[in-house]
Amino acid sequence: MKDIAYNSSNVLVRVYENNLLTRAHFERMLAADSFDEAVNVLRETPYRNDVDRIKEDKNYDSMFMNELHETYKEMFDVVPNKELIELFGLRYAYHNLKVLFKEEITEQDFDHLFIPIGRYPIAELRQAVRSGESDVLPEAYMDSINEVKSDYDEYHNAQAVDIILDRRYFTHSRILAEETGESGITELIERYIDYNNLSTLVRGMKQNRTRNFMLTVLSSSGSIPKEDLLKLMDNDLNAVVQYYKNTKYRQLIERSIDDETGELTTVNVDYETDNAYMEKMREAKLESFGPMPIIAYLYAKETEVMNLRLVLSGKESGLTADEIRERMRLSYA
Amino acid sequence: MAKLNVNPTRMELAILKKRLGVATRGHKLLKDKQDELMRQFIELIRKNNELRNQVEEKLEKAMQSFAMAKSLLHENYIEELMAVPTRSVSLNMGRRNIMSVRVPQMNFQYDDNVDDATELSYGYLNSNGELDLTFEYLVEVMPDMLELAEIEKTCQLMADEIEKTRRRVNALEYMTIPQLEETIYFIQMKLDESERAAITRLMKVKDMG
């Protein structure tokens, strides 16, 4: 698609970006003495309408969900390339699929667990999960659904639903990235998958997972070959560090090492990969053409929600400002 | 102390003396039971206290890391992860007899299908390192928590029994036994008195003759 196709949406996104919460907002929330005071800061932000409600019921998750829902809806409306938004909202679609499968398996009602974000309505997904067929959903969705279905029919293991869908999510992301036809998107998704694979690898090794398990959870859609990652499983975490030092993720891995123990920690890896991804997104600030500003805005919104949730839930459970601060992800604005 | 409302007869005296004998023996036995119960109770309480501290410490750690994990993830993600329970535990309740107190003995049986008790499988995408830690802590604390449940219940039941026994011991010691003793003394005195009266009467009759 031509670069100028995004012109009108990029202008709009630039305006929206001004509404993102800044570092100063977060700092004030951190400095607040109580949950209520922290919520008060939100009165100056687009979240102002929910402030009073949250103070009462502390149900900030629903506010975040609404906000994201609105953001995605708006983007679906203004962006000419729907696959692009579908790609970045795919995580929610897969979450909904998981919930649907679990509903099917347990015959319970998990209605409250759905996140209504995504290109295709939940009713459509539900029908596909039940019947294994759909006239609306693209093939990649159906492949995922059918893979889970056949696995469950064979092994009757409910936990495998999550694991298979997680892996399929990455594969599907890559397919969608290629479908968007935008340069740079595939590379971005590849990077995203690499980050997730690294995190998965480190977590799996810390938990002494079996090779078989890792074979299922690691994605082969990243730039680092899955075989290499599996080979690293046989060694220790130092080998992982050494391996990654020879890739383009050298800086990332060096920062993920704990200063005190000199080892990779899962928390650090999660933190650093999120930040590195954001660094990449920040490059979009200087771009005026192409899809990057929109993607960056979506990611900025997601990160904003993540940080807000961190601050609010930290305040609610009485964590200190420093404890919260050291976990806060880099924000876009 | 009030004496019992009985007729001061020899028959009554014999009955009361028998009752006193039973009461004294019962008192001694109950006192022994109480002492033994107390000893075991104190032991259990100590163990309970220790275990409770341990469990609370671990739970606190788990809850802290859960608070961290939760703050980085959408709540729906976490709930979805755990929507289908991975393992089921069945409970077999037995009974153990400590000094005639029936206390529960719990046997927990984990599902045999899971090879490793610490192995929980869940999707990595919608969870994070801190959630891993949370699960690790919780899995670790589980057996202790179940043991604590057993001990706490035992302590409760024993405390009840101790209270009951103490009430009985006290009733015997401060009510029944003194009452009996006093009544026996009273009857004895009464009988002695009437005996003396009879003798005096006889002597008088003799003098008159």
In a domain, A9, yes or no: yes
- B122 touching chain A per CB within 8 A: yes
Residue A234's Cβ-count burial label (10 Å; 0-12, 13-18, 19+) is exposed
Q: Are strands B101-110 and B89-98 parallel, antiparallel or unpaired?
A: antiparallel
CA distance A292 to chain B (A): 24
Q: Do A204 and B124 touch (CB under 8 A)?
A: yes
pTM value? 0.80
Of A265, A294, A206, whose CA–CA distance to A9 is shortest?
Answer: A294
Assess contact for A40 and A57: CB atoms under 8 A: no
In a domain, A31, yes or no: yes
Which chain A residues have a beta carbon less than 8 Å from that of B76?
61, 95, 99, 112-115
Interface confidence, given as ipTM, is: 0.80
Please name the CATH architecture into which domain B10-192 falls.
Answer: Orthogonal Bundle (1.10)
Name A184's Cβ contacts closer than 8 Å, sequence gap at least 6. Answer: A290, A291, A292
Q: What pLDDT is attached to residue B113? A: 56
Place of tokens 């309408």: A49
CA distance A155 to chain B (A): 12
DSSP E strand boundaries for A3-112:
none
- B141 touching chain A per CB within 8 A: no
Q: Whole-angstrom Cα distance, residue A231 to residue A25?
A: 45
- A217 touching chain B per CB within 8 A: yes
Q: What pLDDT is attached to residue A281? A: 86
CA distance A158 to chain B (A): 7
Q: Chain A, 148-187: which have a CB under 8 Å from a chain B CB?
A: 158-160, 162-163, 165-166, 169
In a domain, A294, yes or no: no
Q: What pLDDT is attached to residue B117? A: 44
In a domain, A46, yes or no: yes
Q: Whole-angstrom Cα distance, residue A181 to residue A158?
A: 36
In a domain, A275, yes or no: no
Token pair listed for A319: 């964590």
Is the dihedral angle over the CA atoms B69, B75, B76, B82 positive or is it negative? positive
What is the CB-side half-sphere exposure of residue B44 using CA atoms within 13 A? 21
Q: Whole-angstrom Cα distance, residue A83 to residue A181?
A: 9
- CB atoms closer than 10 angstroms to residue A317: 15
Q: What pLDDT is attached to residue A4? A: 74
CA distance A93 to chain B (A): 12
Token pair listed for A163: 């694991």
A-B contacts (CB, under 8 Å):
108
Q: Whole-angstrom Cα distance, residue B134 to residue B185?
A: 73
Consecutive 10-residue runs of chain A (333 residues): their mean pLDDT?
75 86 88 87 85 84 86 87 86 90 86 85 88 86 90 83 88 88 84 90 85 85 87 84 87 84 83 88 82 88 89 84 84 76
pLDDT tens digit string along B41-85?
999 999 999 999 999 999 998 888 888 888 888 888 888 887 777
Q: What one-letter code names the amino acid at A112? A: H
- CB atoms closer than 10 angstroms to residue A25: 20
Q: What one-letter code names the amino acid at A191? A: R
Name the residue range of residue A31's domain: 1-80+300-324
- B35: pLDDT confidence band, cut at 50, 70 and 90? very high
Taking CA–CA distances from A312, the nearest residue in chain B reads B71
| Residue-by-residue DSSP string for A127-177 | HHHHHS--SSS-HHHHHHHHHHHHHHHHH--THHHHHHHHHHHHHHHHHHH
Where residue A59 sits, what CATH number does that domain have? 1.10.132
Token pair listed for A88: 């970045």
- B112: pLDDT confidence band, cut at 50, 70 and 90? low
Question: Between the CA atoms of B9, B14, B20 and B23, what dihedral angle is there, to the nearest 10 degrees?
Answer: -120
Q: What pLDDT is attached to residue B165? A: 92
pLDDT tens digit string along B76-99?
888 888 777 777 778 888 888 877
pLDDT tens digit string along B161-194?
999 999 999 999 999 999 999 999 999 999 999 9
Q: What one-letter code names the amino acid at A121? A: P
Q: Whole-angstrom Cα distance, residue A107 to residue B84?
A: 11
pLDDT tens digit string along B116-159?
544 567 778 888 888 888 888 888 888 888 889 889 988 999 99
- B113 touching chain A per CB within 8 A: no
Taking CA–CA distances from B63, the nearest residue in chain A reads A317
- B201 touching chain A per CB within 8 A: no
Q: Chain A, 97-136: which have a CB under 8 Å from a chain B CB?
A: 98-99, 102, 105-106, 108, 110, 112-115
Of A66, A315, A166, whose CA–CA distance to B77 is shortest?
Answer: A166
In a domain, A190, yes or no: no
Of A61, A117, A124, A63, whose CA–CA distance to A85 is shortest?
Answer: A117
In a domain, A3, yes or no: yes
Q: What pLDDT is attached to residue B53? A: 94
- B128 touching chain A per CB within 8 A: yes
How far does CA A91 lie from the centroid of its chain? 6
Place of tokens 């036995």: B29
Name A254's Cβ contacts closer than 8 Å, sequence gap at least 6. Answer: A245
What is the CB-side half-sphere exposure of residue B130 using CA atoms within 13 A? 19
Q: Whole-angstrom Cα distance, residue B184 to residue B17?
A: 7
Q: Among B67-76, B98-107, B193-202, which range has the highest average pLDDT?
A: B193-202
Q: Domain count of chain A? A: 1
Taking CA–CA distances from B73, the nearest residue in chain A reads A306
For chain A, helix (H) and strand (E) counts, in that order, are: 18, 0
Place of tokens 């730039």: A223
Which chain A residues have a beta carbon less than 8 Å from that of B122?
159, 162-163
In a domain, A55, yes or no: yes
What does residue A133 show for φ and ψ, rounded to 5 degrees? -135, 150
Q: What region, left, alpha or beta, does residue A61 occupy, with left being phi > 0 and alpha being psi -120 to 50 degrees? A: alpha
Q: What one-letter code names the amino acid at A46? A: P
Is the dihedral angle over the CA atoms A198, A202, A207, A210 positive or is it negative? positive
